[in-house]
Amino acid sequence: METRGCCASICQCFFEYSTPKILIIRSFKVGTLNRITQALVIAYVIGYVCVLNKGYQDTDAVLSSVTTKVKGIALTNTSDLGLRIWDVADYIIPPQEESSFFVLTNLLITLNQTQSHCPEVPKTGFDCTSDRDCKAGSRDTRGNGVQTGKCVRYSAVDKTCEVLAWCPLELDKEPPNPPMLADAENFTVLIKNSIRYPKFNFNKRNILPYVNKTYLEQCVFNRITDPDCPIFRLKDMVTEANEDFQTMAVHGGVMGVQIRWECDLDMPSSWCVPRYTFRRLDNKDPTDLSLTPNYYNHRFAKYYKNGNNEETRTLIKGFGIRFDVMVFGQAGKFNIVPTLLNVGAGLALLGLVSIVLLSHAVCVVVMATVYIC
């Protein structure tokens, strides 16, 4: 009998259906607060979540590849090199980098270096008065070679340790101002960027479908007249970053080319186009330039054989601007799952509002009852 009664109770509970009681509170204050709060929740869900934030879409991050090609000719006339033409093989070092390129704009040249003996450049740790101050075979990362153990005269007033090195040694001095390759401001670069959103199987490149060979041969990027041209003048990029090209070219620096792809794939694919921005990446104004000069330079050499079959080289300390191309982006497309999730969250928020207002109304009723009593 007990078992039969327990089963009957379980069946009765299983097949029951209950509804909540509805409490109608006729209060202008509570009713107004209820409608205003509901309107705010609906505006948030529709305006921000669905329209502004596109909560009905699934999203994917961009995958990208970048290649660059620089063109331009510079002319210099110096006492060391004479009249000389510089083309892309001279000033793009190295020829290819990953999503970046370096343009030589200024240089210090040390000609006709050979491996021989010469006095070290005067600096702390290399000054001497006799051979006892110099240690044969000593190597110092701040020096230019291997000490021979001899103290020799560097100038009429200075004596330094002799080193086996590429002589004559490079002198530590300021680069020319104005820069030697001042014409680099008129160089142009073709930036080819291909992107893919794998989740949506969508591909595109920054050379848009309507762009043809004739247009590419004559266009240069201009934010007003040619915003879709993938060819950029170096001076224009630096100027858009609120910098002066000639000033930056003296000691070098680092520029960022930012390409942003924000694509709504519910719209025509022609609406998905790149947006270009430019900014300087290195800090040109550190706290103390004397401690950490924020220049961009590196050294490279060109090697030769002279008439005596002796190896010689020309050492170049090159200053220039490195351009880093950075691609950002996100694509969105309608998907029922995020749509239902955001709609459900909005309905839950409306329900929460009702509970909060009901609690407030009950408190008001209780307080009124207490006051009447």
Kindly report, residue by residue over 202-216, the tens digit of the pLDDT: 999 999 988 888 999
Structure tokens at 311: 């190896």
Query: What integer pLDDT is reported at residue 350 of this predicted model?
Result: 73
Residue 170 has pLDDT above 60, yes or no: yes
Q: Is the pLDDT of residue 96 over 90?
A: no
* Token representation of residue 60: 């994917």
Which architecture characterizes domain 24-56+335-371 according to CATH?
Answer: Orthogonal Bundle (1.10)
Distance CA 187, CA 220 (A): 11
User: Rounded CA gap, 328 and 311, in Å?
Assistant: 48
pLDDT band at 6 (very low <50, low <70, confident <90, very high): low
Task: Please report which confidence band the pLDDT of residue 263 belongs to, taking 50, 70 and 90 as the band edges.
Answer: very high
CA angle 38, 42, 47 (to 5 degrees): 150
pLDDT digits (tens, 9 = 90+) for 272-315: 999 999 999 987 665 555 555 668 889 999 999 888 888 999 99
Is pLDDT of 370 > 60?
no
Tokens 């800090």: give the residue: 283
Evaluate whether 245 touches 238 at the Cβ level (below 8 Å): yes
Q: According to CATH, where is 1.10.287 located in the chain?
A: 24-56+335-371
pLDDT tens by residue, 110-141: 999 999 999 998 876 788 999 999 999 888 88
Q: Is 302 annotated as a binding residue?
A: no
Residue 309: its pLDDT value, please? 86
Return the C-alpha torsion angle 108, 112, 117, 121, nearest 10: -20
Position 3 scores a pLDDT of 61
69 known ligand binder: yes
Share of residues in the chain with pLDDT > 90 (%): 50
* pLDDT number for residue 225: 92
State the Cα–Cα distance between residues 322 and 85, nearest whole angstrom. Answer: 22
Q: What is the structure's pLDDT at 91?
A: 87
Whether 255 contacts 238, CB under 8 Å? yes
Mean pLDDT lowest among 41-55, 138-152, 172-186 = 41-55
Model-level pTM greater than 0.75? yes
Q: Mind listing the pLDDT tens digit for each residue in 235-256?
A: 999 999 999 999 999 999 999 9
Integer Cα distance of 224 and 98 in angstroms: 30
d(Cα 221, Cα 189) in Å, to the nearest integer? 10
CA distance 109 to 117: 20
* Per-residue model confidence (pLDDT) at position 285: 63
Q: Give the pLDDT of residue 169.
A: 92
Please indicate if the annotation marks 317 as binding a ligand: yes
- The end-to-end CA distance of the chain, in Å, is 51
CA atoms within 13 A on the CB side of 137: 0
Task: Report the mean per-residue pLDDT for the chain.
Answer: 85
Give the residue range(s) of CATH 2.60.490.10 domains in the chain. Answer: 60-120+169-332
Q: Is the dihedral of CA 113, 114, 119, 125 positive or negative?
A: positive
pLDDT computed for residue 187 by the predictor:
96
Question: Does the annotation list 132 as a binding residue?
Answer: no
Q: Which two tokens stand for residue 193?
A: 């960027």
pLDDT at 328: 94
List, for residues 14-69, the tens digit of each pLDDT value: 677 666 666 666 767 767 777 787 788 888 877 777 777 787 888 899 999 999 99
Closest among 191, 344, 356, 197 to 264, alpha carbons compared? 197
pLDDT of residue 28: 74
Cβ neighbours of residue 318 closer than 8 Å, sequence gap 6 or more: 93, 104, 106, 107, 297, 298, 299, 300
Identify the architecture of domain 60-120+169-332 in CATH: Sandwich (2.60)
Q: Is the pLDDT of residue 228 over 70?
A: yes
| pLDDT value of residue 369 | 55
Q: Is 188 annotated as a binding residue?
A: yes
Closest CA to 52 of 264, 353, 347: 264
Percent of the chain having pLDDT more than 70? 84
